[in-house]
């Protein structure tokens, strides 16, 4: 059993922290910007709530965060009453936020100045993966810190991998989002084409999903897409935030991402339709408007 803090109890962090307490048997202290959410979590799972990130991190062996973006992450770490004010020497800070590689490197340096460790560890698998403890976690950081943290991270994951030095986890998550964007657009166009051609979409997917076209998106989203229902996962607003990070990194490193840039604009069209909180499979709605 380790002493663990978890900062950020959103749709992902709430169940992830729960797994650390129940599955992992760790001693948990939680912080959330909305204190009522932290109290709800503590009532459901047990554990202690903290008034600030600094209070949460004080004396902990591992400190996890899962917040919204780079600025949120800076706020709960190096900001006023941030976790880095109290993080103890030798502690490992594990960040599950999807953020930039730049902020990961910045916070790695800030942690090292405190004789602590920092691992960027964005996740894939969505809300269902978090609730089921079956996330894929892509890590960047020092190998000794990763080896120390891996058994704790594994409590809410089905796959935990060290991708390279700090920032490599975030870069890997960017590739994940690049691939998903193209897959969902292709699936949306395929379903749209099939409908226009008068085919039975269920029969079509039953056949092609067993071949080279098969994907997680096809298996898990085609039924809801065909029914015009888009309330089953990762929101369009979140995907646009992630693709903004991807495209900014591409401008820095010179990568050419024409399809990703195009799909990002398609998601902007979905937002204009009022679909900010629709899931990412809603690209089909744009074709059928």
Choosing from 80, 173, 241, 289, the catalytic residue is 173
Convert 240-259 into a string of H (helix), E (strand) and C (coil).
HHHHHHHHHHHHHHCCCCHH
CB 137 within 8 A of CB 160: yes
CA distances from 185 to 57, 232, 259 (A): 41, 17, 9
Q: What's the CA gap between 241 and 231, in Å, rounded?
A: 18
CB 15 within 8 A of CB 66: no
Say whether 229 is catalytic. Answer: no
Instruction: Cite the active site residues.
Output: 173
């Amino acid at each position: 059993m380790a002493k663990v803090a978890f900062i950020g109890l959103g749709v992902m962090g709430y169940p992830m922290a729960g797994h650390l307490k129940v599955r992992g048997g760790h001693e948990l202290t939680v912080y959330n910007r909305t204190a009522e959410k932290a109290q709800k979590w503590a009532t459901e799972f047990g554990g202690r709530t903290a008034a600030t990130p600094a209070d949460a991190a004080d004396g902990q062996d591992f400190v996890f965060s899962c917040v919204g973006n780079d600025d949120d992450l800076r706020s709960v770490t190096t900001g006023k009453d941030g976790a880095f004010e109290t993080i103890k020497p030798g502690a490992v800070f594990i960040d599950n936020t999807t953020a930039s590689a730049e902020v990961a490197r910045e916070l790695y340096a800030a942690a090292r100045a405190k004789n602590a460790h920092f691992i960027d560890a964005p996740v894939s698998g969505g809300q269902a993966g978090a609730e089921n403890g079956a996330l894929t976690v892509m890590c960047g950081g020092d190998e000794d810190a990763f080896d120390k943290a891996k058994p704790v991270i594994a409590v809410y994951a089905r796959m935990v991998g060290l991708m390279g030095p700090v920032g490599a986890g975030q870069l890997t998550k960017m590739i994940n989002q690049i691939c998903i964007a193209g897959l969902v657009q292709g699936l949306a166009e395929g379903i749209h084409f099939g409908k226009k051609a008068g085919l039975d979409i269920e029969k079509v997917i039953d056949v092609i999903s067993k071949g080279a076209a098969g994907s997680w998106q096809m298996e898990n989203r085609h039924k809801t897409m065909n029914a015009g229902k888009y309330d089953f996962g990762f929101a369009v607003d979140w995907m646009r935030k992630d693709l903004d990070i991807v495209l900014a990194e591409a401008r820095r490193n010179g990568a050419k991402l024409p399809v990703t840039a195009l799909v990002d604009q398609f998601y902007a069209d979905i937002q204009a339709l009022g679909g900010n909180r629709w899931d990412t499979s809603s690209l089909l709605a744009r074709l059928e408007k």
